[in-house]
Structure 1
Amino acid sequence: MSTVSSREIAIDGRPASVHVGGQGEPLLLVHGGWGAASMYWAPVWDQLAERFQVIAPDLPGIGRTDAPGLGPLGAHARWLERLLDALGVSSAWCVGNAFGAAVVSCFATQCTACCRGLVLVNGAPLPPLPRAVGWLGTQPLPRKMLRALVLKQAYNPRILGRAYADPDRAPAALRDVLKQANPPQVEAVIDAYIHGGPRAPLGLTPLILWGEADRLVGSSARDAKKLHDSLPGSQLTFIPATGHMPQVENPEAFVDAVTRFIEARSAAARPRGLGGLGGVGGRMDA
């Protein structure tokens, strides 16, 4: 039986869904743009809950499609801050996959006191964009063209062969989303991306945890190395034989990498003489 369960809470007077369980240091898991938290985190959240207090929300408009989307990434960050506050959590370790990596990066930048550390999983911070891009994204023709591009690159069944080392491991819920001609998540994701990320630089040095076989546009191993080079002090760990959702294809390696990173950072923050673990990085064997 799962130790993580779903709860309904209110944020700004609107209902919100969050999966919680476990004890220990709070661990915020933010899903990507394909669907709900369970699609991304169910394979690992029970294992993580053995060590951490797991908090995995369903983002409005993406994970919870009966709710309107939040708009820009900054609004997602503020929503996460209010979510933690509603749960009585002052700060958490933050893990984001794909689109979720952009969300937690913005959260870490806007609410530095709320983020103890950062793990980016096959995703990156979104750079600031000119205001004109946001305006164009609201105009009918550019919006239509952008939507067609997003559907081609990220929302159709053919992308599974590029997103997964073994497409048979793709969750059934993901397959259902990709079969739809008009997935409801697309509009919310576009609304977030067209406004760009925060203008302040990312202050934390994250663990960049990457499925090495990912071949989606902008998510290859080469892109991971570029991201690592752009964030001095960051750590890069590849999980072989996994793609865009390494936590789904190799849950054990994923949990081990996240746990070791957090334990090493926590140990480093303790006073000298209390001991600790070494850092992590490099390549993990499957």
Structure 2
Amino acid sequence: MSSDEVSFVTVHGHRRAYVKRGRGPALLLLHGLGCDHTTWDPVVDALARRFTVIAPDMLGHGQSDKPRADYSVGGYANGMRDLLTVLGVDRVTVVGHSFGGGVAMQFAYQFPERTERIALVSTGGMGPEVSPLIRAVTTPGFHQAMGVLTLPVVRHVGATGLRLLSRSGVPAARDLGEVADIYDSFRDPRARHAIRHVVRAVVDWKGQIVTMSDRAYLTRAMPMCVVWGADDRVIPVSHAHHAAALAPGARVVVFPDAGHFAHKDHPELFVDTLVDFVDSTEPAAHTRTQWRRLLREGPAVEVAQSEAGDAPVAPVAQVVALPSA
């Protein structure tokens, strides 16, 4: 997506950047922590042939404003509702990557009447484990240390080294090119400030603290697809099994030879998976009566919890792992 395709709208006094492409049922694409709408570049053209694709830069990211504001998961969900309202879009299939997956789940929980389906890519919220690099953002002195590490010469050397490592062919290094882009964005102190507040809202030194486990049973009323990369080093692929346990009705697909950015590692496969998910499921039809019944019934099966956090001890539903090429 070229820069001239980016549009802007002011909501609650803050300018928000977004791209809107295509025609058809609406897809809301939510990027991950430190990224922006361009993370969807490899798939947006193909998706726009079938759907109205809306890919925003969430507040504090990309070309959107980076104010002192509410950077909680709930705050982001509210912001997406308000953006869709301004754009005249009533209902969406919400697609979220990493932190954006947490926002997608929160959006569906807060606004089920506006959510047709949920699709998650290497999502947060399925267990406590997360990369030490993300936990480091919560430590005292991160803002100051990153100010030094993003000085022009230091940043150029560091980002170049990360990009070279990402091309080495080593699976553990495949995502470092994306890490380099995030690192480069930290040269803006406003972006560092925003990211620090985002991470502190969802992660502490032990790992992720925001979980969908206590409300996952509500997905019985809404189609859900979960995609993961088998070589994910940011949020482990074992969380795909957690997703299968927490939401037994979900479609869970593991991409071989893919890392944290599975939609970028295998864009054609991702598009095919998402299109098939939409084509083979009916949009959720939310009613207060149904929602009240689900809340009163609670989880159909109690999921065992580990001592480490909210992750289930073992999966109770099958995960589909695609064969290697």
TM exceeds 0.5?
A: yes
- The TM-score, its normalising length taken from structure 1, stands at 0.75
- What residue in structure 1 maps to residue 279 of structure 2? 263
Q: Is residue 238–residue 282 contact of structure 1 (8 Å, CA) maintained in 2?
A: yes
Report the Cα distance in structure 1 between the residues aligned to 2:110 and 2:252, rounded to whole angstroms. 24
Q: CA deviation at 1:144?
A: 3.4
**What CA deviation, in whole Å up to 9, does each residue of 1:19-51 have, x standing for no partner?**
11001100000000022111x101111111011
**Alpha-carbon deviation of 1:63?**
3.1
What does residue range 238-277 of structure 1 map to in structure 2 within 5 Å? Answer: 238-266=254-282
Residue matched to 2:55: 56
Structure 1 unmatched ranges of 5 or more: 128-141, 270-279
Paired residue type of 1:193? V
1:212 to 226, 230, 233: 230
Deviation at 1:13, TM superposition (A): 2.9
1:77-96 superposed Cα distances (whole Å, 9 cap, x missing partner) = 11000011011000100100
1:79 to 1:201, Cα distance in 2 relative to 1, 3 A: same
Q: 1:112 to 1:267 in 2, by over 3 A?
A: closer
- The alignment partner of 2:123 has SS state of coil
Aligned counterparts of 1:114 and 1:93: Cα–Cα separation in 2: 9
Query: For 1:163-174, what aligned pairs fall within 5 Å after superposition?
Result: 165=171, 167=173, 174=179
Distance (Å, rounded) in 2 between the aligned partners of 1:103 and 1:268: 18
> Residue type of the partner of 2:259?
G
User: Following TM superposition, by how much is the alpha carbon of 1:189 offset from its aligned partner in structure 2, in angstroms?
Assistant: 2.0
Write the distance in 2 (CA, Å) between the matches of 1:265 and 1:88: 24
Q: Which residue number in structure 2 is paired with residue 131 of structure 1?
A: none
1:123 maps to: 123
Q: What is the CA-CA distance between 1:234 and the residue it aligns to?
A: 1.1
Instruction: Report the CA distance between 1:282 and its aligned residue.
Output: 4.5
Report whether the alignment pairs 1:11 with 2:2.
Answer: no
Corresponding residue of 2:196: 187
Given the alignment, which residue of 191, 198, 215 partners 1:201? 215
Deviation at 1:14, TM superposition (A): 2.1
Alpha-carbon displacement from aligned partner over 1:182-218 (angstroms, at most 9, x marks no partner): 76253142243268468971422521111111122xx
Identity of aligned residues (%): 27
Residue 207 of structure 1 aligns with an amino acid whose one-letter code is C
Q: Does 1:283 find its partner at 2:283? A: no
1:201-260 deviation per Cα after TM superposition (whole angstroms, max 9, x unaligned): 1422521111111122xx222221122112121111011111101111111001010110
Q: What value does the CA root-mean-square deviation take over the aligned residues?
A: 3.6
Alpha-carbon separation, structure 2, partners of 1:30 and 1:8: 16
Quick one: distance in 2 between partners of 1:191 and 1:215?
A: 20
Query: CA separation of 1:237/1:126 partners in 2, compared to 1, >3 Å: closer, same or farther?
Result: closer
Match for residue 137 of structure 1? Answer: none
Could you list the runs of 5+ residues in structure 2 that have no partner in the other structure?
Answer: 128-136, 147-157, 204-208, 286-318
Contact kept? 1:239, 1:246, Cα under 8 Å: yes
> In terms of Rg, which structure is larger?
2
Correspondence list, 1:87-106, <5 A = 87-106=87-106
Q: State the secondary structure of the residue aligned to 2:233.
A: coil
Q: Please, which of 246, 261, 265 is the counterpart of residue 230 of structure 1?
A: 246
Conserved 8 A contact 2:243-2:252: no
TM-score computed with the length of structure 2 as normaliser: 0.66
- Equivalent residues of 2:175, 2:260 under 8 A apart: no
Count of residues paired in the alignment: 252
1:74 maps to what in 2?
Answer: 74
SS in 2 for 1:123: coil
2:7 and 2:19 in contact (8 A); partners too: yes
Hey, what's the Cα distance between the residues in 2 that align with 1:234 and 1:226? 11
**Counterparts in 2 of 1:258 and 1:190: CA distance versus 1, 3 Å:** same
Q: Distance in 2 between matches of 1:265 and 1:146?
A: 47
Confirm or deny: 8 A CA contact 1:60 1:70 kept in the other structure: no
Alignment CA distance shift 1:165-1:26 (3 Å): farther
Task: Please state whether the residue corresponding to 2:116 is helix, strand or coil.
Answer: strand
